[in-house]
Structure 1
Amino acid sequence: MPPIDSPLAVLLLWGLLGYVAGSVPFGLVVTRAMGLVDPRSIGSGNIGATNVLRTGSKSAGALTLILDAVKGALAVLAARLAAGEDAAQVAGLLAFVGHCYPAWLRFRGGKGVATFLGVLLALIWPVGLLTCATWIAGVALTRVSSVGALAAAASSTIWMVFLGRGDVLLIGIAMTLLLYWRHRQNLARLRAGTEPRLGRKP
């Protein structure tokens, strides 16, 4: 963590704002705007980009991915501009939590991959870029979305250490652990050899 210079009330405020930003369910917004099926009724039942892709619309999946990343990045950048680096990390972490557990959807959100990447890109862009590259490589090599996500999350802390960014290590580890928890069913399917590949119905 960076030095904690902001008052507790400021950190709590940016944590709340980060949560609200992260909890905007763009997967639902996009599919409804495009007249597609509710992603909660298909596939894994979550509102993330991979499940939106299962509606059959690549453009909806791509737009959801971008918007989910942008909301995490904006939470970090706004908090940094207004209050500093400590508030930026709190806002980023809570944006990630908000995406995974949005109060408006009874805490049933996405698995956090896009928001995770957006937060990292805004917090420390070299780590974010390397983590994105790991994600893309994992998906390209295996055609399994969860493999790319899990590889990216695991690599993020390695990139932080490699680049000497211990100041973001704590939030990186916290988000990685939560992302792995959100992917626990995917991990079980990977062990069983039943995890679906992209382009196939689960």
Structure 2
Amino acid sequence: MADFTLALPLAAIAGYLLGAVPFGLVLTRLAGLGDIRAIGSGNIGATNVLRTGRKDLALATLLLDSGKGAIAALGARALAGWDGVDPALAVVAGVAAVIGHNYPVWLRFKGGKGVATTLGVLLATAWPVGGLACLTWLLMAVLFRYSSLAALTALALAPAYAWGLAEPVHVTGFGVLAVLAWWRHRDNIRRLIAGTETRIGHKAKA
């Protein structure tokens, strides 16, 4: 097993760089749809990609964005060896991946909001918590048709789920991710309060 003090910064750096890959932007440009940041919310995530009308690209973005969070966490465990690894290593790498998605160096630190990446981290580091968070998101999305409200609810409840289903390091890490998500969604929160938030499936104009 690699020394933990060496593995921790390596996992954080690798997680950040992986998380910083802007899959939504790359996919929409390859599809000839231009810069996704010029439509809708200006976000590079799956919800804004869906506003182009391309459900296939939105699904691909969702899977890739969540996948990079999961890979960052699982890769950190592999870096140090699977047996007896401190779960903090995977949590730190996962949090770093979300920060990379939200503040990617390649895009002058202007990225997405990290919901899909965070869900990937939850599933990879404490799958029962991740599963409950995903179910919460789905239920809220079906009931209210607001992606932002679904995300805010799911991620706010993740630390509570972790309290009973995971370890203290997960509660702390998921709490950090929840705070980060709420901060990144502050404009959405204002629009939700004002009743002007865009609903899921709405095709935004460029």
**TM-score between the two structures when normalised by the length of structure 1:** 0.94
The partner residue of 2:52 within 23, 45, 55 is 55
Q: Deviations over 1:63-108 (max 9, x none)?
A: 1000000000000001012223332111111001000000110111
1:104 aligned partner: 106
d(CA) in 2 for partners of 1:95 and 1:199? 27
Residue 88 of structure 1 corresponds to 90
State the alpha-carbon separation in 2 of the partners of residues 55 and 200 from structure 1.
9
Which deviations, in whole Å up to 9, do the C-alpha atoms of 1:114-142 show, x marking residues without a partner?
A: 00000000001000000000011111110
Task: Give the aligned partner of residue 120 of structure 1.
Answer: 122
2:198 to 196, 199, 202: 196
Structure 2's unaligned 5+ residue stretches are none
Partner Cα separation in structure 2 for residue 46 and residue 144 of structure 1? 15
Asked if the contact 1:156/1:172 (under 8 Å) is kept, the reply is yes
Aligned-partner Cα distance in 2 for 1:168–1:66: 22
Q: For the residues of structure 2 that align with 1:20 and 1:170, how far apart are their CA atoms? A: 22
Is the 8 Å Cα contact of residues 72 and 118 (structure 1) preserved in structure 2? yes
Aligned residues, how many? 197
Contact 2:113/2:184 (CA < 8 Å) preserved in 1? yes
- Code of the residue aligned with 1:144 in structure 2: it is Y
- 1:31 corresponds in structure 2 to 28
CA distance in 1, matches of 2:159, 2:139: 17
Matched, 1:41 2:38: yes
**How has the CA–CA distance of structure 1 residues 164 and 88 changed in structure 2, closer, same or farther, with 3 Å as cutoff?**
closer
Unaligned runs of 5+ in 1: none
8 Å contact kept, 1:76–1:89? yes
> What is the CA–CA distance in structure 2 between the aligned matches of 1:198 and 1:133, rounded to whole Å?
17
Letter in 1 for 2:88: D
Post-superposition CA distance 1:142-198 (Å, at most 9, x none) = 011101101111110111113253231110000000000000000000111111111
TM-score, length basis structure 2: 0.92
Q: Is the 8 A contact 1:6 1:86 kept in 2?
A: no
The alignment yields a C-alpha RMSD, in angstroms, of 1.3
Alpha-carbon separation, structure 2, partners of 1:39 and 1:56: 12
Is the 1:37–1:55 contact (alpha carbons within 8 Å) kept by the matching residues of 2? no
Where 2:175 maps in the other structure, the secondary structure is helix
